[in-house]
Amino acid sequence: MRTGRNEELAQFLRAMRARLQPDDVGLPVQGRRRTPGLRRQEVAQLAAVSVEWYVRLEQGRASEPGTAVLDALAQALRLSPAERRHLHVIARGEAPVPRPECLPVSESLRALMEGMPLLPAYLVDFRFDVLAHNSAAAALFGEDFGSGVADNVARMLFLSPRMREMQLDWARVARETVGNLRATLARHPDEPRLLEVIGELRSTGREFALWWDDHTVRQRAHGTKRIRHPSVGELTVHYDTLATLDGAGQCLIVLTPADTAAETCLRRLMADRAGTLGGPGLHALPAAQARHPELPGGSAQPGPAPRLRPGRR
């Protein structure tokens, strides 16, 4: 019987197999190939399983594979650590991670963002919705950051022409975001907001649909981005993601200058903004409460101070 999870596993295995060539895994090329990628029998050989069983697995008709077999398949298909975890989640039928609690933005996180006046920082939930950001983030990404199509990191990347122009490595950053969305959906397969965002982007963006269908899985907590700002020009920033441990599924993303030129750009942005608006401040977004009515609002009920750990976003 083909179930939704079996079909997801079958599609994932086919996509991972199609991206490999025999010489990628140390196999000789034998004869002309009508389709790209490894053959099923080659994957079965590399994973030390029977061809018949692997064919059934790709057809969504095999029994649930064991952990050792999944590890062998991950090795055969040269999966990354994130892809290996994803394989186990969709194949073993593990219970989805409990839905994060909808907690207000804590006063300690607000103070932390306010205390970094030169470093763009913003808080997102597990749905990639922007909950709050500081003035440096508004100066870098625009005053509408956190609203409209910029209310969600994934929507902003794919639906905002300005953001597409600003991200000099847009394709890489956007593709990583697609991989993050897929990994998040595996943990929260019935989350309405995630399904809404994914459905919207699949229907409106050719690149998103293409990358979604190749089953790329990415989970990165830090990296580097090159940004072109209309006022100060190009700058390179590092980004780090810190996840709270309070069950809210919130992540704080902080951008830091990669060199002195980037630091100068950020200082210029904040100086210009302070002259225009009268100084820095924190943007806590009421739109987040509108999207998620269960989210308590107002600063009269601040959330507890969360613990932070490196996260994936």
Q: What DSSP character marks residue 227? A: E
Phi, psi angle pair for 162, to nearest 5°: -65, -40
Mean pLDDT of the chain: 85
- Co-location of 13 and 47 in the same domain: yes
- Co-location of 21 and 166 in the same domain: no
- Residue 99 falls inside a structural domain: no
- Co-location of 69 and 188 in the same domain: no
pLDDT in tens, 143-163: 999 999 899 999 999 999 999
Q: What is the pLDDT of residue 171?
A: 95
Tell me the β-bridge partners of 252. 123, 242
- Residue 129 falls inside a structural domain: yes
Residue 79 belongs to domain with CATH number: 1.10.260.40
Max CA-CA distance within the chain? 71
pLDDT in tens, 188-200: 888 999 999 999 9
Residue 283 belongs to domain with CATH number: 3.30.450.180
Whether this prediction's pTM lies above 0.85 is answered by no
- Co-location of 125 and 266 in the same domain: yes
- Co-location of 33 and 136 in the same domain: no
Which among 99-103, 262-266, 297-301 has the top mean pLDDT? 262-266
- Tell me which residue has tokens 């990347």: 157
CA–CA distances in Å: residue 305 to residues 111, 207, 246, 302:
10, 39, 9, 9
CA 250 – CA 261 distance, rounded (Å) = 31
Cβ contact 90:186 at 8 Å: yes
Strands 233-244 and 222-229: antiparallel
What's at 77, amino acid-wise?
Answer: L
CA 120 to chain centre: 19
- Residue 63 falls inside a structural domain: yes
- Co-location of 34 and 179 in the same domain: no
pLDDT in tens, 81-100: 888 888 988 888 665 566 77
Whether the per-residue pLDDT at 216 is higher than 70: the answer is: yes
Listed residues 36, 63, 92: the one ending a domain: 92
- Residue 101 falls inside a structural domain: no
Please list, residue by residue across 169-190, b when 16 or more beta carbons sit within 10 angstroms of its beta carbon and e when fewer do: ebeebbbbbbbbbbbbbbbbee
Whole-number percent of the chain with pLDDT over 70: 84
- Co-location of 27 and 57 in the same domain: yes
* Count of other CB atoms within 10 angstroms of residue 33: 12
- Structural domain boundaries enclosing 84: 4-92
- Co-location of 63 and 114 in the same domain: no
Q: What is the pLDDT of residue 298?
A: 41
Report the number of distinct structural domains present in the chain. 2
Whether the per-residue pLDDT at 307 is higher than 70: the answer is: no
- Co-location of 84 and 121 in the same domain: no
- Co-location of 80 and 119 in the same domain: no
- Residue 123 falls inside a structural domain: yes
Q: What is the pLDDT of residue 165?
A: 96
The residues, ordered by sequence, that sit 6+ positions from 274 with a Cβ below 8 Å of its Cβ are 280
User: Between 159 and 26, whose confidence is greater?
Assistant: 159
- Co-location of 30 and 113 in the same domain: no
